[in-house]
Amino acid sequence: MSNRLQCLIFDVDGTLANTERDGHRVAFNRGFQTAGLDWHWSVDFYGELLTVSGGKERLKYFLRQYLPEFKPDGELNDFVAHLHQLKTKHYLELLNSGAIGLRPGTKRLIESARATGITLAIATTTSLPNVIALLEKYLDLDWFAVIAAGDIVPAKKPAPDIYHYVIKRLELDADSVVVVEDSDNGLASAIAAGLTTVVTVNNYTEQQDFNQAALVLSDLGEPEQPCRVIQGNLARNYLDLAALRSILIH
């Protein structure tokens, strides 16, 4: 157990970028419209739906809980898959238009980690095309040793499966890894995999329970754009590699 920082694993939605409210939610609504459905998910209602991880799983939950009488043409799984494809198309259009940007500090921290030889990885429930589009627009696919996304594991967060998958692929010890997440489901997933976790909250998650996190911040911060410390201690007004190494030691 060296407690030496060797890897950073990032969630995507709400962590790398504020994709949920003005990205996925809007894309779902446009997908509904394209499919000829009069459904609309408001900002607040979508926050409730975010308790369910995964877009297809979220759609099934919505139908089961709020539209139990709805009967699609054909099989439910096929209907949900088609609707999710429409949503993904609209999401990619939003992303390519520049409507969705990275959160403060994410690119700085990732570039700093790369410069010092720290391995980077992705662990997210969002679909692979969404992840690839975001990384290609703002970062680089080649920067990440493993990109674990979508249905690559059967059980999504808060189950630890996706983090077990990444750690196994990288052949690393859990005590050399720090995870950056944004939600209680993500935190529970990482903690269950034995991983030290930093949380950066957003409008949808700021009231959730993050007691098991090593550090909870408003965002990763920049030297000229300080973050707010919600839980834990941070020597500077932004998260850097020194802070992450300190977290592992303690």
Q: What is the pLDDT of residue 3?
A: 61
CATH superfamily of 7-18+102-249: HAD superfamily/HAD-like (3.40.50.1000)
CB of 24 closer than 8 Å to CB of 13: yes
Model confidence, pTM: 0.91
Question: 180: closest CA among 132, 228, 134, 219?
Answer: 219
Q: Which residues, in sequence order, are bridge partners of residue 199? A: 181, 216
Q: What is the tens place of the pLDDT at every residue in 130-164? A: 999 999 999 999 999 999 998 899 999 999 999 99
Domain extent listing, the chain: 7-18+102-249, 20-96
Catalytic residue among 11, 161, 182, 219: 11
Examine the residue annotation and report whether 240 is marked as an active-site residue of this protein. no
Please give the pLDDT value at position 62: 98
Pick the CATH number of 20-96 from 3.40.50.300, 1.10.150.120, 3.30.2270.10, 1.10.150.240: 1.10.150.240
Identify the H or E element spanning 7: strand 7-10
Is it the case that residue 72 has pLDDT exceeding 60? yes
Task: Give CA–CA dist 226/239, Å, rounded.
Answer: 9
User: Percent of the chain at pLDDT above 70?
Assistant: 99
Q: Does the pLDDT of residue 111 top 70, yes or no? A: yes
The reply to whether 13 belongs to the active site is yes
Catalytic residue of the set 13, 161, 219, 240:
13
Cα–Cα distance measured from residue 88 to residue 71, given in angstroms and rounded to the nearest whole number:
23
Burial string for 50-77 (b: 16+ CB within 10 Å, else e) reads bebbbbbbbbbebbeeeeeeeeeeeeee
